Structure 1
Amino acid sequence: MTRNTLSPLPLALLGFALAGLTGGGVLWLSGQPGQAGLVWTAGVLPVLLALGVEILRSLRRGEVGLDIVAALSMTAALIFGETLAAAVVALMYSGGTFLESFAQSRAQRAMTQLLSRVPRRATRRQGTLLEEIALAEVRPDDLLLIRQGDVAPVDGTLAAGVAVLDQSALTGESLPVRLARGQAVMSGATNLGEAFEMVATRTAEDSTYAGIVRLVEQAQASKAPMVRLADRWSLVFLAVTLALAGGAWALTGDPIRAVAVLVVATPCPLILAVPVALVGGLSRAARFGVLIKGAQPLEAMAGAKRLILDKTGTLTDGRPQILSVAAQDGFGPEEVLALAAALDQASRHPVAQALVAAATAGGLALPIPEAVAEVPGEGVRGSVAGRPVVVGGLGFVAVQTGSAVAAPAAAPPGAALVAVAVAGRLAGVIVLADGLRAGVPDLLAALRARGIGRITLATGDRRTVAETVAQGVGLDAICADLSPQDKARLVQEERSGGPVIMVGDGVNDAPALAAADVGVAMGARGAAASAEAADVVLLVDRLDGLLSGIEIAQGARRIALQSVMAGIGLSVLGMIAAAFGYLTPVQGAVLQEGIDVAVILNALRALRISPSRAPEPKRG
């Protein structure tokens, strides 16, 4: 689905207004004022017509905006023959509308990447034959073959043997899970081990992954659009404008003074300054690796009061990291790691890859293993530099060595334990866990200084794991064992205390990201679903980007407010001068152009906002 695409209408209206003003100017300079007036009028009418349609739509929604002042000024100018002033106002208004439309188009939502991850076909076993069928043809009780690297197309149960699945996109847990016969397989999980067979329990439409897609769509559809910042003062400004224009006409009997007041009052500084400042903030944020998908989420980000953080890949790094190596029987920690990593070079298991990465980063030599045999989900056997080595789970290594292997006493809840045996003797146990990102406590304190009053951890993990990871971080609440629906419900509950930012990186976070006032996705390694559902994507894999984004959003919003207030003040002074006859309609339009230039130049300062803790800007 696609929303908020850039409409061709604003560009067309800008073209009409510019062509009318330019063409009429050429005719006027060539001594044809009558024809010039007709051309100016022709350039104004399309803008006025579109403006009238928009005003009617707004009134039906119960909204009164500043567009009414622009419509009154153009209409009055045309009625009383001030066609040049009307043309200038039309150009100012259509230019502001185009800028605003451009800002909104950046908020486009596309689910193409999420949907493309769903398999289009499945492999079904019929007796001794395998057949490729369309996903829609899968029915409960069908026997499906899931090859290594395949994504489970529907929910089902494991028919036989074991399966090693990456469910991180669904549960947020970075460590793979090992399933035995009869256990449930969720659609959307990726097969990391050998091929296995599963019995379908649901159709594709009723399966877990499709349900998450529907939740995202529903949450996006229910999010109310934000009213333009400038319109919040529309009724007061409209009342002041009508009072000054009507008073000038009534006291002097000169309708041209009322026209001049309306022309000066045309709220182009308000219409222009806000989108320019906010689009400037969008551009500035992008240079620091923070992709904000529109002016509306940027403004919402600036006013957020509550923050909800996913755990895996957000508060934590999202990859297994070595916490300790409990070496035994005369082996040293580095030797244990080197032997395990050398053998694990032959494995694609995420824990094996984490061991290899840690050993390589530590400068350890890793010889090529020989005679390698892997038992999916259990462990690896082989030879390293002529020595027989076994690496795997505690139970697997215990069977290979013929003696029990105990977990280290210091292993935290939820940690992955990898035992290493050499020549039939236990060499040690490596403890891995998904570690907290560096600098998280300081970052959360900085976010509180920026107005975030409550910070909550939301995770699908067990409470003991969540509490261990978040110890001393400075959270206000920890919510564990949450399903995607639970996370979305938590967002709705937190919104009672103010606008909510939700940060996550997996498919399981997508409904909550879409339901939040501002959804923020860790896009560097996060799931496509979360990136598409989110309003903000952190292109740099650092949570610091959230602070940078908030600082830029608040700076852009502050500059927009300054521009609005300055524009209102200058416009009111110009309206008073016009009411006393010191400005003609054309002079008022030129003055308003000058005010436009001033507020736009001020709004462009958003392009120079510098966040306090951001990484170096991206070049180019």
Structure 2
Amino acid sequence: MTPNTATGPIVFLSKARDIWLPLIAVLGLSAGLIFALLKDPANARLVWTVFTLPVLGALLWQTFGSLHRGDFGLDILAALSMAFALSFGEPLAANVVALMYAGGQMLEAYASQRAAREMTALLGRVAQTAFRYEDGCLQEVPIADIRAGDRLMVRQGEVLPVDGIVVRDHALLDQSALTGEALPRMHGIGDEVLSGSTSVGGVFDIKAIRSASESTYAAIIRLVETAQKSRAPMARLADRYGLVFLAVSVSLALAAWLLSNDPRRALAVLVIATPCPLILAVPVAIMSGISRCAAIGCLVKDGGILEALSRVRVAILDKTGTLTRGAAAIVAIKNAKWIDENELLRLAASLDQASGHVMATALIAAARERGLNLVPPNDVTESPGAGIDGTVGRHRVTVGGRGFVERRVLQGSPRAFLSGRGTGEVVVAVAVDGVAAGLIVMADPVRPEAVTVLRKLRDAGIVRIILASGDRSEVTRDVGEALGIEEILGEQSPASKVECVRSARRFGPVMMVGDGINDAPALAAADVGVALGARGAAASSEAAGVVLLVDRLEPLADALTAAQRTVVIARQSIVAGLGLSIAGMIAAAFGFLPPLQGALLQEAIDVAVILNALRALRPAGSKANEGPEIPRPRI
């Protein structure tokens, strides 16, 4: 029985059918048994026949619709069983088969709804309105009217309607719907917060950085809807195996009839083959696995991707923004004795407010984190890519590369502050009133969770990890060696990353993990592409099959383990269900199982495989040992 993917009125009719058909079958079975107890077999047989016909009619209509769409499923076995039972004078068996079929569909529908709980819960959390500041007043506006740059107020208990930056007070947010984190997280002024998070603290303001349609939560909703409509290759493979099973079932039934000259044996064989656990188990297991991944903060776009993820043996990881933060951070300040470290940073950051350079942005953010009082600069002159001059308060300040600053100082040299510079570090020289004042050392730090995640990937069966970065080879090598990565490739263009994916396939199916637009071609070329952070307009998220809902790596290894476990559970259900069904069919062919007992046995098998498939919803029972911490590089 294939899952129903219809929409609108068809969904309503399908739900009504799932409820009414089992009820009709139960009423018929009960009424017939009452007549049988009253020793009125004629009316009992009539009731069982009459109440079987609506279920048979609904099944034939569904089978006809499936055949019209080119979807040839095993529902035809149930139809054959009921029709033959009525033809051979076994209306009780036909009524039981009707109940088993209708009840199986209802159980499958319930199981699929339960398996999709974490995903469908996302769909009901979309905010409809928000409070926007307009001319100093608050106005409630539809979220469709919100644009980047709007200032919004978020109250306790409200769901953030758009992605934004906290601009007033602190935000205590419950992100469990996005990440699976049990505890709320505190966000300060300047922190980015994601739509779909729920405010559990006091009132705060955010500045929208995307419209509602481009925000994280909208992207998640689109991906969820895609995932819910998909069918895995394993599910389609089950359909093909189902055709073989259908042929075997019918052949065995005919052989039993011809050899024994007893049509009841053929009927018993068909009854035990209806409905097939092959069709029930796979969709439920796959949806359960996708749901489990969503619960831990990893959105798998469809069932085919989940199955491919379970087979991955090679992981190719980008460096900047993936293994590292992707943004410069201060790792050291080397100041002259006559100036305080914070004062050096305050003057440099104040001047850099007039610059659009990425390093200037990082300096300003660092100064604000320290609570330093920045003042507007005056008389500013900037040499793009080299440095900037200007007046900050009563001081003339110069900020830039060592050569740029050295040519402008009257006393001292920035080189005097150099000592043990690490690979990948960038130094920003600062001079105050013509005197060398010090250096600010900046770098892109490695993510703190990178070591643990790489170890878990190896534990999950990844046989080779490759670091492929567009950054300089020496910087990439420093990071890769510190993390114990087998193959390190620097200065990679988008085209060379694609070639790296193709070359790595000699070790097995490849997973590419990245976050930038330059990673998109490799993400699309890999067997499984994984993008960090759901961003509606990001090319990487569009090209990837898996999207980590937060800008962290932890959910990746857990999702890989969940995918592997899901596929194992699906195969267990298929093998066990088919094995038991075939054993029952052979017993029926030799006359050991009459039709009624065969129908009850098959229903028990169906219930067992569905309950087994639902195990994919739960986390694995044990975790890998953590092991020793590997030293992180300072780059």
TM-score normalized by the length of structure 2: 0.66
Q: Could you say which residue in structure 1 is the equivalent of 2:483? A: 473
Q: Report deviation, 1:453.
A: 0.6
Please give the residue correspondences for 1:609-620 in structure 2 after superposition, counting only pairs within 5 Å. Answer: 609-610=619-620, 612=623
**What per-residue deviation string (whole Å, max 9, x for no partner) do you get for residues 327-358 of structure 1?**
34644545433432344355554322322333
419, 433, 458: which one pairs with 1:448?
A: 458
Judging changes above 3 Å, is the alpha-carbon distance between structure 1 residues 95 and 520 closer, same or farther for their aligned structure 2 residues?
Answer: farther
Given that 1:78 and 1:86 are in contact with CA atoms closer than 8 Å, whether structure 2 keeps it comes out as no
Q: Could you say which residue in structure 1 is the equivalent of 2:60? A: 45
Q: Could you say which residue in structure 1 is the equivalent of 2:83? A: 78
**What per-residue deviation string (whole Å, max 9, x for no partner) do you get for residues 487-517 of structure 1?**
2333233234322111111122122222222
Given that 2:401 and 2:427 are in contact with CA atoms closer than 8 Å, whether structure 1 keeps it comes out as yes
Q: Could you say which residue in structure 2 is the equivalent of 1:304? A: 312
Q: Could you say which residue in structure 2 is the equivalent of 1:128? A: none
* Unpaired runs of at least 5, structure 1: 59-66, 108-148, 150-223, 615-620
- SS of match in other structure, 1:368: coil
Q: Could you say which residue in structure 1 is the equivalent of 2:208? A: none
1:566 aligns with 2:576: yes
Distance in 1 separating the partners of 2:431 and 2:4: 59
Distance in 1 separating the partners of 2:395 and 2:53: 95
* Unpaired runs of at least 5, structure 2: 33-42, 120-148, 150-230, 626-635
1:575 aligns with 2:582: no
Given that 1:14 and 1:94 are in contact with CA atoms closer than 8 Å, whether structure 2 keeps it comes out as no
Instruction: Look up the equivalent residue of 1:368 and give its one-letter code.
Output: V
- SS of match in other structure, 2:264: helix
Q: Report deviation, 1:575.
A: 2.4
Q: Could you say which residue in structure 2 is the equivalent of 1:373? A: 380
Distance in 1 separating the partners of 2:287 and 2:251: 34
Given that 2:289 and 2:562 are in contact with CA atoms closer than 8 Å, whether structure 1 keeps it comes out as yes
Please give the residue correspondences for 1:239-278 in structure 2 after superposition, counting only pairs within 5 Å. Answer: 241-242=249-250, 244-266=252-274, 268-278=276-286
1:529 aligns with 2:539: yes
Q: Report deviation, 1:248.
A: 2.5
Q: Report deviation, 1:430.
A: 1.8
434, 437, 447: which one pairs with 1:427?
A: 437
**What per-residue deviation string (whole Å, max 9, x for no partner) do you get for residues 407-465 of structure 1?**
94644455433111111111112222222212423421221111001111122223233
Please give the residue correspondences for 1:78-477 in structure 2 after superposition, counting only pairs within 5 Å. Answer: 78-81=83-86, 84=95, 87-88=98-99, 91=102, 226-228=233-235, 230=238, 237=245, 241-242=249-250, 244-266=252-274, 268-328=276-336, 330-331=338-339, 333-345=341-353, 347-361=355-369, 363=370, 365-371=372-378, 373=380, 375=382, 377-384=385-392, 386-401=394-409, 405-406=414-415, 408=418, 410-477=420-487
Instruction: Look up the equivalent residue of 1:47 and give its one-letter code.
Output: Q
Given that 1:52 and 1:71 are in contact with CA atoms closer than 8 Å, whether structure 2 keeps it comes out as no
- SS of match in other structure, 2:327: strand
- SS of match in other structure, 2:326: strand
Distance in 1 separating the partners of 2:253 and 2:483: 59
Q: Report deviation, 1:366.
A: 3.2
Given that 1:11 and 1:98 are in contact with CA atoms closer than 8 Å, whether structure 2 keeps it comes out as no
Distance in 1 separating the partners of 2:103 and 2:316: 41
1:599 aligns with 2:609: yes
CA RMSD of aligned residues (A): 4.1
Q: Could you say which residue in structure 2 is the equivalent of 1:500? A: 510
Distance in 1 separating the partners of 2:274 and 2:557: 37
Judging changes above 3 Å, is the alpha-carbon distance between structure 1 residues 351 and 232 closer, same or farther for their aligned structure 2 residues?
Answer: farther
Q: Could you say which residue in structure 1 is the equivalent of 2:566? A: 556
1:546 aligns with 2:561: no
Instruction: Look up the equivalent residue of 1:49 and give its one-letter code.
Output: F
- SS of match in other structure, 2:375: coil
Q: Could you say which residue in structure 1 is the equivalent of 2:155? A: none
Q: Could you say which residue in structure 1 is the equivalent of 2:631? A: none
Distance in 2 separating the partners of 1:505 and 1:234: 41
Distance in 1 separating the partners of 2:497 and 2:575: 39
Given that 1:555 and 1:609 are in contact with CA atoms closer than 8 Å, whether structure 2 keeps it comes out as no
**What per-residue deviation string (whole Å, max 9, x for no partner) do you get for residues 395-416 of structure 1?**
4434443687549464445543
